[in-house]
Amino acid sequence: MADPTRQSVFRIPLVREITVVLLIKLTVIFVIKWQFFSDPVDITQADSTVEQHMGLSNSKKQTLEKKDG
């Protein structure tokens, strides 16, 4: 069945090191994804939030009212 002289691939130090590094990188990527991209952003309020922050929330409404009237 299995050849007794054949060794496992993971006995080679380079293969072990590459495997460990890849596992660490995957873990870091998933932690970053979970930390920063897990909650969806509410884009319906994005414009008004920026306008309020910049102090422009009323100016847009006033401009539209002047054009209509």
What is residue 55's predicted lDDT score, i.e. its pLDDT?
A: 74
What is residue 17's predicted lDDT score, i.e. its pLDDT?
A: 96
As for how many domains the chain has, the answer is 1
pTM, to two decimals? 0.50
Query: Is 59 part of any domain?
Result: yes
Low-confidence ranges of the chain (pLDDT < 50): none
What is residue 18's predicted lDDT score, i.e. its pLDDT?
A: 97
Query: Is 4 part of any domain?
Result: no
What is residue 40's predicted lDDT score, i.e. its pLDDT?
A: 74
What is residue 16's predicted lDDT score, i.e. its pLDDT?
A: 95
* Angle 57-59-65 from CA coordinates, rounded to 5°: 115
- d(C-alpha 52, C-alpha 56), whole Å: 6
What range defines the domain where residue 15 resides? 10-68
